Structure 1
Amino acid sequence: MTTTLTGPRTSVPPEHSVSRDGFVDTLRVFAIVLVVLQHWLMPVIAYKDGQLHTGNALSADLGWMITWISQVMPLIFFAGGAAAAISLRRRRAQGAVSDSGWVADRVRRLAVPVLGLAAVWLPGPHLLLTLGVPAEPVITAARLVGALLWFLAAYVLITMASPLMLRLADTWRGREVAVLALGAVVVDVLRFSTDASWLGYANVILIWGAVHQFGVHYGSGRLTAVRGRRALALAAAGFTGTALAVTFGPYPLSMIGMPGDAVSNMNPPAAVLLALAAGQLGLALWMRPMITLWAARRPVARGLSRASSSAMTIYLWHTPALVLVAGVAVLGFGQHTPEPGSGMWFTQLPLWLTLLSVMLIVLVRLAARVERFVLPSAPVAPAQVVGASLLVAFGLLGLTLNGFRPDLAAPIVATVAIAAGVLLLGAPLTWSSQARTGRLSA
């Protein structure tokens, strides 16, 4: 790498001139695998006397320690920022005049697979209820399938701002990361010292935006010095900061929401996640030379490329795989989750993961084509891209809050918003000859 913190501001680092970055791809795939495993291992489910009882296996003693590694949203947003910077710089080097087409393409790639999910899960719960499946499990499953879409809502907003943030990174050289991080700390101070707990949701953008921006600097070749002992020092500082924050601050030990905790570090995101991100990313950057060599092997590179191309589908469909397998086991066969960590729990674990993996493979094979589906597009004005992206983000937020519950109209409204945003991202609005009558054509 030749570009450093004092190097050219707009050049593309030679190492990043290739089509893929093995380090970034490895982090992305590793993070998705951990997300899937964590969500598959967490549920504690029982159905007794017509009541569904749920719990979290990681709420057991010392389960919080696992979340310091398994909470991998920092890796996902970092990888996203790195990929965005590499892609945008390559595009600009090729002479692209506007970045609006890049934003439109990225947002549609995030949104279209969600429409495939909605095509199944909007009618699906109604069908299950018609077949006589108890309402409570159906509503719980339908809500859960949409709950994880919060990540995409935040990602769409950050993607929309990525071209601007890349320019800001070139100008501010990392100071913008500090500003975002400081803003997150201020939000937490206000959140915990007043009754305005709603302020905490500003950290969805401040915290994950800061981590994404750190990835932008990696993709711009400015983290060359963060290696070896410096990377280990960053990791040590991050994990030490996390430990101090949960010991002396208002933050719980777990980096995910746990039943019974008065405060969740994830909903809304808490500033302690910035320290966790520093710890995880320092460790990852320390391992980067080893990861890069491993990822350069031809079979590994092919596997990473294939997994990366289906990452969205895997993320979207691993929860449906969970609710389908758990539903059959609990409602169909009367099974319940053994005591987490017990001998029976470990004995059943291989079968549980095998069934879930088979179900996910089937669902991914059926749905992967949607992720690779390319809609026709045309140049779209920047203002229209912003409006359409906001529409997609609004729809994703609606699905996050309500899921695909069959007893609400909100999921339909949210899905229509996403579909409208997707169409507007590829359909330029122009004034036709009917403009005098007040009709706008697309």
Structure 2
Amino acid sequence: MTVLVDRPLAAKPRRPARDPFLDLLRVAGMALVVLQHWTMPVLAFDGVRLTTANALSTPGVWVVTWISQVMPLVFFAGGAANALGFGRSDASPQAWLAVRLRRLAWPLLPLAAVWIPLPHVLLTLGVPEQPLEVGARLTGQLLWFLAVYLLAVTATPYALRLHERYGWRVPATLAAGAVLTDVARFSTGFEPVGYLNIVFVWLAVHQLGFFYAQGRLRRPWALAAGGFAAAALLVSQGPYPGSMIGLPGAEVSNMAPPTLAVLAVGLGQVGLAVLLRPWLLKLSSGRVLAWAGPRIMTAYLWHMPALFAVTGVVVVLLGVDTPAPGSAGWFAGWPVWLGLLCLVMWPLLKCFARFETPPALPYGTAGVGGTLAAAGLVGGGVLTLTVGGFAPGTGPFLAVLALVGGLLLTAPRAMRPAPAQ
């Protein structure tokens, strides 16, 4: 066996190498993720414990999450970009996958290099243990997206083959899987079964990106109307909450695990975005996209450490709690809060954006088994950090070992010298 799967010919995209619409979705999506994470926390410190609440728990504000929960759009844009990249690549599928694994895993190493020793250093300096543990765990938990996206990237060569052969039946089957999963989850009360939707929901949206890459999303208005209407019906008549993000104290979350409702909202978002594509491209700035594009991963990985740094100084050290969401104090203080976060984030971008480009590797051919094992190791490392974060213990060390092992396995095998004549 020398390839992961035969390269699908019919799935080759018709669009140019770079699609500014996809760049816009990824940059705008990540900007919304950062802005939402920086805006949501309602923080208070009593001298021992840092308590956290969510500003989006305010009654009626949940409707904002139907737009601000942009992960469906990020997976859609990723699917389209993967289809475009795979279609125009002359490399073997396993070599294509190896390159993407390196690009996803390499930026995690400096994050781990900072966060593994940091809790120990700060504890030695007298920083309270509980707030530090909250920050260390949440920094890792937000890596769930990378773990799932690694799955989508690894599945891309196979998913494109299915797309070529079965077309719309593939996302329809995945959506049906999401329906059955939710039926089993809510009828039995067995919550773990809901995590099957990590595959069904996110791969369904990722698969839609293949249709965009081929120019086959011809009725975006129908997708938008149908998706949002289905979501409204599910929320009003089903067991689903209105918020598309998890909220403290809620009996059901639409994100952990993902539900059919978040898939419906995702379909609506994709349809709306494609429908507005001509106007969005007129509003977008090529210079902004060119600057922000190579820094997306850095912003994703380091915006929470920036939040914890500001929280540590303002809330824990100075004792300034977050005003009540929606109050005059909250609106007056939000620009100052955002300004402080940007001030901390800027040097992090300057320092760590260079790691978005992994180092060059020796010549040779990537092996199939090694590439798949690399995907498993990198995914396992990210999943370990997602579950346990960077809290002191053996977990972060094991995660880094898995990441490094996966990166080493993506290195092409050194070419053997030609035999002597």
TM-score between the two structures when normalised by the length of structure 1: 0.89
Deviations 1:216-252 (A, max 9, x none): 11112222x22xxxx2332122111111111111111
Instruction: Tell me which amino acid in the other structure corresponds to 1:9.
Output: A
- Tell me what 1:246 maps to: 235
Q: What is the distance in 1 between the residues matched to 2:39 and 2:224?
A: 27
Please list every run of 5 or more consecutive structure 1 residues that lacks an aligned counterpart in the other structure: 1-7, 432-442
Q: In the alignment, which of 302, 308, 320 is matched to residue 293 of structure 2?
A: 308
- Report whether the alignment pairs 1:216 with 2:210: yes
In structure 1, give the amino acid aligned to 2:336.
L
- Residue 390 (structure 1) aligns with: 376
The alpha-carbon deviation at position 412 of structure 1 amounts to 1.1
Tell me by how many angstroms 1:429 deviates. 8.8
1:138 counterpart (132, 135, 144): 132
* CA drift at 1:137: 0.6
Which residue in 1 is equivalent to 2:262?
A: 273
8 Å CA contact 2:11–2:83 kept in 1: the answer is: no
Whether the 8 Å contact between 2:365 and 2:414 is mirrored in structure 1 is no
Q: Deviation per CA, 1:158-189, whole angstroms, max 9, x where unpaired?
A: 10110111121111112101001111111111
User: Which residue of 63, 67, 70 corresponds with 1:69?
Assistant: 67
Q: Where does residue 321 of structure 1 map in the other structure?
A: 306
The one-letter code sitting in structure 2 at the alignment partner of 1:351 is: V
Give the secondary structure class of the aligned counterpart of 1:310. Answer: helix
Change (3 A) 1:317 1:20: same
User: 1:348 maps to which residue?
Assistant: 333
In structure 1, C-alpha distance between the alignment counterparts of 2:390 and 2:368, rounded to whole Å = 31
Q: Does 1:151 align with 2:136?
A: no
Contact kept in structure 1, 2:227 and 2:268, CA below 8 Å: yes
Q: TM-score, normalised by structure 2?
A: 0.94
Q: Are 2:102 and 1:108 aligned?
A: yes
Deviates more, 1:379-388 or 1:34-43: 379-388
SS at 1:44 equivalent = strand
Q: 2:251 pairs with 257, 262, 277, which one? A: 262
Provide closer, same or farther for how the CA distance between residues 10 and 253 of structure 1 changes in structure 2, counting only shifts above 3 A. closer
Mapping of residues 9-24 of structure 1, within 5 Å: 9-13=10-14, 16-17=15-16, 19-24=17-22
Shift of 1:336: 0.5
Report whether the alignment pairs 1:331 with 2:334.
Answer: no
Q: Secondary structure at the match of 2:246?
A: coil
Question: 2-side partners of 1:364 and 1:248: how far apart?
Answer: 45
Task: Decide whether aligned partners of structure 1 residues 125 and 308 sit closer, same or farther in structure 2, where only a CA change above 3 A counts.
Answer: same
CA distance in 1, matches of 2:179, 2:414: 41
Residue 22 of structure 1 contacts residue 291 of structure 1 at CA under 8 Å; is this kept in 2? Answer: no
| Matched-pair contact (CA < 8 Å) for 1:385–1:425 | yes
Kept in 2, the 8 Å contact 1:157–1:390? The answer is no
What does 1:403-414 correspond to in 2, within 5 Å?
403-406=389-392, 408-414=393-399
Q: Does 1:175 align with 2:161?
A: no
Distance 1:10 1:212, change over 3 A: closer
Give the 3-state SS of the residue equivalent to 2:241 in structure 1: coil
Q: 1:401, 1:105 → 2: CA distance?
A: 26
Amino acid in the other structure paired with 1:185: V
Deviation at 1:427, TM superposition (A): 4.6
Aligned to 2:386: 400
Is 370-379 or 105-114 further displaced after alignment?
370-379
Which ranges of 4 or more aligned residues in structure 1 deviate by more than 4 Å? none
Q: SS at 2:396's partner residue?
A: helix
Q: Deviation per CA, 1:82-138, whole angstroms, max 9, x where unpaired? A: 0001111111xxx44x21111111111011111111010011111100100010011
1:11 CA drift (Å): 4.5
Q: Does 1:163 align with 2:157?
A: yes
Q: 1: CA distance between counterparts of 2:140 and 2:46?
A: 25
Give the Cα separation in 2 of the matches to 1:381 and 1:253.
46
Tell me the distance in 2 between the aligned counterparts of 1:81 and 1:387: 22
Tell me, in whole angstroms, the C-alpha distance in 2 between the residues paired with 1:221 and 1:68.
Answer: 26
What residue number does 2:53 align with? 55
**Structure 1 residue 306 displacement after superposition:** 2.1
CA RMSD of aligned residues (A): 1.6
2 CA distance for matches of 1:251 and 1:259? Answer: 15
Give the letter aligned to residue 382 of structure 2.
Answer: L
What is residue 440 of structure 1 aligned with on the other side?
Answer: none
Counting aligned pairs with the same residue, the percent is 48
Contact 2:201 2:263 in 1 (8 A): yes
Distance 1:365 1:268 in 2: 35
